[in-house]
Amino acid sequence: MHILGVVVSLVGFLLEGALLARLVATRLAKSFPLYFSYLGYSFCGFLGLYLIYWLRPRLYPTAYWMFYLVSILAEFAVLAEISDQIFRLYPALRKLGRAITIAISAGLGAIYVLPSIFGGEGEPRYAAILDFALRTAVTKAIVVVVLFYLARHYRSELDRNVAGLMLGFSIYLAMLIAALAAGKLLGPSVGGSTLWVMAPLATTLCQAVWTYALWEKAPARYSKATSPALGADSEAVALELRRFNNELSKFWQR
């Protein structure tokens, strides 16, 4: 079980390295800056953890949990990237995904995630950390579902890169939620062993999907109905939005 966890984790690490190199080669790193930063952080973190694991094994648990807790927050960068990419082609909605991500994360963070940190007095540290990670993963899953709903509602068509990014992250979140719930239920000994394999497995599967989806840059997105009245720039759309709002505002002044 222990070796399996290490091997799976190593495969994920190698995939991550390959993907990072590929993102640089295809210049996708420039198109997905937040995601690229997250991958870079994750890759360097894993590299550091491996070095600690082999050179200073006694420090490994502390280093792992520190890295893990920061990763929980760093994963929001992937969500931010997804939310930016979904509506990138729609000038009026370009910030909608970001706004929704911030609103849901802040709202659920305050009423659902934070109580797991401050409310669990007397709870073992292991259970408290798992509870925090679990609730954060559920929050991210809710954000992803809402983003998917909005993408469908506004008929935003996802290209291979963005769809793969969302799918990979969703697989990771789903597996993580199930693994963390199992880990919490089974306790530190059995649950810890389960998590030792399941968490890297979730990461590796996610990396595999990401590597497949982001290996090549998707063709440039095009307009299917671009009005010459609107033009193709933000200012023209902003003018149209203002016109609509002004028209409606007349009723308020009557």
Site string for other proteins, 17-56 (x = CB under 8 A): ----------------------------------------
Q: From CA 117, how far away is CA 131, in angstroms rounded?
A: 8
- By CB under 8 A, residue 111 contacts other proteins: no
Q: From CA 107, how far away is CA 110, in angstroms rounded?
A: 5
- By CB under 8 A, residue 223 contacts other proteins: yes
Q: Which two tokens stand for residue 188?
A: 């530190």
Q: Which of the ranges 16-24, 54-62, 111-119, 164-172 carries the binding residues for other proteins, by CB under 8 A?
A: 164-172
Total residues binding other proteins (CB under 8 A): 72
User: Closer CB to other proteins, residue 2 or residue 27?
Assistant: 27
Burial 32-43 (b: 16+ CB within 10 A, else e): bebbbebbeebe
Cα torsion angle, 146, 147, 149, 154, sign: positive
Write out the binding residues for other proteins, residues 50-109 only, by CB under 8 A.
Answer: 88-96, 99
Work out which of 80, 173, 206, 214 binds other proteins, going by CB under 8 A. 173
Q: From CA 29, how far away is CA 55, in angstroms rounded?
A: 32
- By CB under 8 A, residue 238 contacts other proteins: yes
Write out the binding residues for other proteins, residues 192-221 only, by CB under 8 A.
Answer: 218-221
Q: 170 to each of 58, 174, 221, how far by Cα in Å?
A: 33, 6, 23
Shortest CB 91 distance to other proteins, Å? 6
